[in-house]
Amino acid sequence: MSKTFVATAVMQLSERGKIDIDKPLITYLPYFKLNDERYKTITIKQMLNHTSGMPDVNDYEWEKAVADEGAAERYTRSLSDQKMVSNPGAEFHYSNMAFDVMGDLIAKVSGMSFEKYVKDNILTPLEMKETSFYFPETKKKLRTTPHTGKPPVVRPVYPYNRMHAPSSTLNTNVLDLSHWAIANIYGGKYKNKQIISPSTYAMMFAPTFIIDPNQKISIGLSWFMRPDNGVMNYSHDGGDLGYRSSLTIIPEKKIGIIILSNTDEIQILEVRDKVLDILRSTSRL
């Protein structure tokens, strides 16, 4: 669910005239390059809805625990040998790589690091006091350990590498995420703080590409959507070594579902579906 924060940050900067999501990425990051001439036409919107044609990350190198501020630009510059998997805008291919590069984009157009921009413009206004994309600043007493196996054992490596902060390294909790869910349910507003305009949120929640016509699954700008029992569910799930997470919001019913696990053995979507079944049985849905 890290990517929903990235998309919101990009759209905030779009509202401020700093980014035009229909322009090619190289407009803002001229040093971005892939081993395929088609990279020159990749737009930011295509990166936001996973139709950029960029591949996914093969190795996150969590064991290196990179944490310096230059990591984002180094990662962008390291991709020149990567091949594209489709024409930009033609097909859906989930790409953590694209979202990691957008961390560098956010830093360059805002003039501050990706992590600081998100903290100042999203996390702090939403009172997400214990949430951060920068693992070294999280309180040690609040940190969890990743688990795997049955019975569960602690994984020796914690999944953190600042090069992949935008796609993967949100450190948070259920309480803070409830603020995020509320803001998204109410068109960008939490209490008296409006972090982005309702019209921009509507754009993020509008289908931009149909992923599965049979199940009617589509994607907006980072958010996945599907109809369920007559109402639209907006969601983003995630997982890495030792962790699984799921966030679903149903604005029409003012419902948010947050599931976090520090084991990668859990079938997180099955748990989410059971919660939805319970809500249906109690006539909440």
Q: Residues 179-225: pLDDT tens digits?
A: 999 999 999 999 999 999 999 999 999 999 999 999 999 999 999 99
pLDDT < 70: residue spans in the chain: none
Which of 197, 204, 253 has its CA nearest to residue 224? 204
Q: How far is CA 53 from CA 40, 85, 153, 158, in A?
A: 11, 5, 37, 29
Q: What is the pTM assigned to this prediction?
A: 0.97
Give the pLDDT score at 285: 81
Give tens-digit pLDDT for 190-202: 999 999 999 999 9
Give the pLDDT score at 179: 98
The radius of gyration computed from the CA coordinates of the chain, to the nearest angstrom, equals: 18
Give the pLDDT score at 153: 97
Burial 219-255 (b: 16+ CB within 10 A, else e): bbbbbbbeebeeebbbbbebebebbbbbbbbbbeeeb
- Measured distance CA(93)–CA(86) in Å, rounded: 8
Q: Which residues contact 67 (CB under 8 A, 6 or more apart)?
A: 134, 135, 136, 160, 162
Helices (H), ranges, the chain:
2-15, 44-48, 71-77, 96-110, 114-118, 165-168, 174-185, 198-204, 268-281
| Residue 261, helix vs strand vs coil | strand
